[in-house]
């Protein structure tokens, strides 16, 4: 049977460092002992055989981290990237040197939004 207890979150991590796919971890402190919660695969990049866009949030976070070349979300601060847009908004962000751009509108256009029905394809 599971116990219920209070814990303080000591650290919250979104990263790709351990295995190359997006995971989230909470480091919990019970007051004298601790434990980690998380580790589920939230997004597998295209380099993985089982890649499939099932998570807009996972894809968005992974691509932002990939553009900035960081393995942890909190390491984004201070990184230099390129921006494509105007005063009306930003269309895409890009790697500072490589020709690698993340444009959410383009990436998410291939998959219907949750509130939009999927388009039927004529056979």
Report pLDDT digits (tens) over 28-87: 898 988 988 888 888 888 888 877 777 788 899 999 999 999 999 988 999 999 999 987
Return the pLDDT at 118.
Answer: 47
In 57-110, DSSP assigns E strands to: 82-86, 89-94, 101-102
DSSP state for residue 21 in the 8-state scheme: S
Q: What is the mean pLDDT of residues 8-15?
A: 85
51 belongs to a structural domain: yes
Q: How many domains does the chain have?
A: 1
90 belongs to a structural domain: yes
Please determine, for residue 120, whether its predicted confidence score (pLDDT) is greater than 60: no
62 belongs to a structural domain: yes
Domain limits for position 54: 8-109
1 belongs to a structural domain: no
The Cα–Cα gap between 29 and 51 comes to 34
The Cα–Cα gap between 55 and 46 comes to 13
Contact 110, 59 (CB under 8 A): no
Return the pLDDT at 16.
Answer: 84
């Amino acid at each position: 049977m599971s116990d219920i207890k209070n814990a303080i979150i000591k650290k919250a991590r979104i990263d790709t460092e351990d295995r190359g796919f997006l995971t989230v971890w909470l480091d919990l402190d019970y007051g004298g002992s601790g434990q980690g919660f998380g580790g589920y695969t939230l997004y597998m990049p295209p380099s993985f055989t089982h890649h499939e866009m099932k998570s807009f949030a996972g894809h968005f976070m992974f691509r932002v981290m990939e553009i900035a070349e960081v393995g942890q979300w909190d390491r984004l601060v201070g990184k230099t990237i390129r921006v494509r847009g105007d005063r009306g908004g930003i269309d895409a962000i890009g790697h500072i040197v490589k020709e690698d751009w993340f444009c959410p509108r383009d990436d998410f256009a291939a998959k219907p939004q949750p509130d939009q029905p999927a388009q039927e394809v004529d056979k």
